[in-house]
Amino acid sequence: MNIDVFTLFPRWFDWFLEQRHVRNALERGHELETVDIRATTPLTAGQVDDTPYGGGAGMVIRVDVVESALRARYGADPLELRRHRRVIALAPGGRQFDETLASELANEKEITLLCGRYEGFDERVNEYLASDVVSIGPYVLTGGELPAMVMCDAVLRKLPGALGHEDSALEESFSAALEGAPEYPHYTRPADWHGYLVPDVLTSGDHGKVREWRLEQSRRRMGQA
């Protein structure tokens, strides 16, 4: 998979790119690269944003600046790009990112993430250049960089070999194996901690009962049981 993150702050990703599961994915041939939106701006003095039409506070990232960054990266007409590549603009008002979307994206070959800043993108970026507008939750962050890292984290850990222990991704929160519910509670040694005990069933050695108990706990967390 190839992920390009378009951002005004590529250095934000230095730390992220060094993390083990990200490095694992890169070593397996996946790609995660940052593209500096400012580097290809057609405006003078590195300008990328402008005041909003209609007035109001804040600045808006210009559509021609994003167009120019996409053209420089991919060569093709940026208006055609979303036909064959997932181009995702990050904005608080977009489709909420969840496990289903993470799985969907893990099956894509090529993804572009556009990180907004200030008051976000000119709406024509969302409408004509992006294939999707995605939010990581109903709160406003200073930009799309953290949302991009959240999404990359959730997507990359789904790729074979990223975690180094394949089973853990199978039966985890919101997986089909758990009927889309949050994961059951986990316990480890000591079995008795200040008198707070691990549930008996987990130390019983009865795998069938353990499975039943876990599913029930998982359903309970979902509010179903």
Interface ranges with ligand ADE (CB under 6 A): 90-92, 116, 135-137, 139-141, 143-144, 147
- In whole angstroms, the minimum distance from the beta carbon of 129 to ligand ADE comes to 16
Q: Residue 105 or 202: which CB sits closer to ligand ADE?
A: 105
Q: Residue 87 or 178: which CB sits closer to ligand ADE?
A: 87
Q: Residue 72 or 141: which CB sits closer to ligand ADE?
A: 141
- In whole angstroms, the minimum distance from the beta carbon of 3 to ligand ADE comes to 16
- In whole angstroms, the minimum distance from the beta carbon of 89 to ligand ADE comes to 8
Q: Residue 17 or 146: which CB sits closer to ligand ADE?
A: 146
Q: How far apart are the first and last CA of the chain?
A: 39
Gap between the Cα atoms of 137 and 96, Å rounded: 6
Strand-pairing partners, residue 86, are 111
Residue 154 structure tokens: 């959730």
Taking alpha carbons only, the member of 150, 170, 145 closest to residue 98 is 150
Gap between the Cα atoms of 153 and 147, Å rounded: 10
Residues 6+ apart with CB under 8 A from 27: none
Residue 118 structure tokens: 């200030």
- In whole angstroms, the minimum distance from the beta carbon of 141 to ligand ADE comes to 4
- In whole angstroms, the minimum distance from the beta carbon of 133 to ligand ADE comes to 9
Q: Residue 52 or 92: which CB sits closer to ligand ADE?
A: 92
Q: Beta-strand (E) ranges in 97-150? A: 110-115, 132-135
**Residue type present at position 151:** M
Residue 65 structure tokens: 């600046």
Helix (H, G, I), strand (E, B) or coil at 36: strand
- In whole angstroms, the minimum distance from the beta carbon of 195 to ligand ADE comes to 42
Q: Residue 6 or 184: which CB sits closer to ligand ADE?
A: 6
